[in-house]
Amino acid sequence: MEKENVAHPQKLGLKNRHIQLIAIAGTIGTGLFLGAGKTIEMTGPSIVFSYIVIGIAMFIFLRTIGELLYNDSSQHSFLNFTTKYVGQRAGYFVQWTYWLVLVFVCISELTAIGTYVQFWLPHVPLWLIEVVALVLLFGLNTLNARFFGETEFWFAIIKVAAILGMIGTAIFLLFGHFSYASVIQGQSFKGAVSISNITHNFSFFPKGVMNWVSALQMVMFAFTSMEFIGMTAAETEDPKTTIPKAINQIPVRILIFYVGALLAIMTIFTWTHIPADKSPFVMVFELIGIKWAAALINFVVLTSAASALNSSLFSATRNMYSLARQHDRGKLTGLTKLSRNGIPLNALYLVAGLSIFAPILTLIPQIQNAFDFAASCTTNLFLIVYFVHLYTFYKYRKSNDFNPEGFLTPRAKITVPFVLFIFCAVFLSLFFHTDTLFPALGALVWTIVFGIYSRTRKI
């Protein structure tokens, strides 16, 4: 068995413009574009505070990743540090768990793509849309890896422009005193773009404390995958410059892209009438009668989901390749074979095959919302990986490798326990809502069963 760290089968060839835009794109995803509808429906304007609190926690978490990668960027992934500082068995557990996470991300993004396409094709089955999307993105991932960086660069530009355009439109409509008449569930509704849509009868828990707590899961899902920033930074020409720059810009991006976008949505339309199962970015324009803008935004959020699926397929495939190289005992040899242009094609086939569970989920009647179910599974497993990383960071700080002159996590003795508390609160919240209970139990079963296996397996 190979015990050294295995690099990616092909360098990404990322330039600084790629890493900066991909870093921005990592803070804008389906959790915001689609998941915000449900969180707004559950908690109203107070959801902004949830995004701020979890955003702060994620920034500190990324600083812990940044500190490790800055000290040793040759590791390529924050996951490799678990093997280095905790042990090979823990590293085995966290690497396979993270790979499973990426598969669930693929499933989540596929369900989102189906929802977006149904905006134009409401009578086409979700499962069919998802299968077609998977085939197209599979084909894209068979191309040269350098093409990945360029594709994500342009996807990122579209997403950033959409958010800024959304905020700018809200400001324009607000100062233009725009009013509208809409029809909601067969009843006429008149309204206006106004700050009062947020402040009128404001309540921190308009639908109860438990709804507010339950919404934390989807907020957390909106921030997951941000660690990809640190993982791609290792592929740049100057990681010691790129890592701090990319991570330190996260707080500003959270304020602009998350808080700004949510406030814009709720300023344009009364939050109590925004549908929970659709993208609020699209529906606010649909409801106020600007249908061309709704169609444009739907195209943008569709490209966002396609971008996220593209990234997840790419990452899950490379992770599978790396795992097969490290833990091959004659069973995974086929997954280490590369195509002529350096693509681990068999690993890509495996990931795509598992992603086909997305259309299967939409056909199971017991699952009311396939996206919520997949997003819950993703959040659960991400949190397990995050908990292991925080322990890894603790072990690093206690080791001789700790560099007090490096890119340090600010006030780590205070901030890291704060992050742990927030992550624990989110994980516990998953057990208090019917939509997230079974995914939460599944994550516990995986952690216990696979944890025991990882602990007892021969090295």
Give the pLDDT of residue 85. Answer: 94
Give the pLDDT of residue 459. Answer: 67
Give the dihedral of Cα atoms 301, 164, 226, 381; nearest 10 deg. -40
Residue 4 maps to a domain: no
Residue 387 maps to a domain: yes
Alpha-carbon distance of 33 to 272, in angstroms, equals 18
Tokens of 287: 């409801």
Give the pLDDT of residue 297. Answer: 84
Residue 66 maps to a domain: yes
Tell me the CATH number at 303.
1.20.1740.10
Tokens of 416: 């890291």
What are the backbone angles phi and psi of residue 249, rounded to the nearest 5°? Answer: -85, -5
Residue 159 maps to a domain: yes
Give the pLDDT of residue 9. Answer: 44
Other Cβ atoms within 10 Å of 337 Cβ, number: 14
Closest CA to 189 of 260, 54, 287, 103: 287
Residue 194 maps to a domain: yes
Domain residues for the domain of 281 are: 16-456
What are the E-state strand segments in 268-343?
A: none
Contact, 12 vs 145, CB < 8 A? yes
Give the pLDDT of residue 401. Answer: 92
Alpha-carbon distance of 34 to 110, in angstroms, equals 12
What are the E-state strand segments in 143-287?
A: 179-184, 187-192
Q: pTM of this prediction?
A: 0.85
Give the pLDDT of residue 328. Answer: 59
Helices and strands (H and E) in the chain: how many: 22, 2
Give the pLDDT of residue 241. Answer: 80
What is the block-wise mean pLDDT of the chain (459 residues), using blocks of 10 residues?
A: 39 55 62 81 90 91 91 80 92 92 89 89 90 87 67 76 85 89 73 89 85 85 76 65 80 82 89 82 82 84 82 82 73 73 82 88 75 84 94 94 90 95 91 82 92 85
Give the pLDDT of residue 6. Answer: 38
Task: Give the number of domains in the chain.
Answer: 1
Residue 224 maps to a domain: yes
Give the CA distances from residue 124 to residues 129, 136, 299, 447, in Å, rounded to whole numbers and listed in that order.
Answer: 7, 17, 17, 38
Give the pLDDT of residue 210. Answer: 83
Give the pLDDT of residue 1. Answer: 34
Residue 171 maps to a domain: yes
Give the pLDDT of residue 16. Answer: 56
Hunting for tokens 């080791």 — which residue is that? 399
Counting beta carbons within 10 angstroms of the beta carbon of residue 451, is it exposed (0 to 12), middle (13 to 18) or buried (19 or more)?
Answer: middle
Residue 6 maps to a domain: no
Give the pLDDT of residue 2. Answer: 35
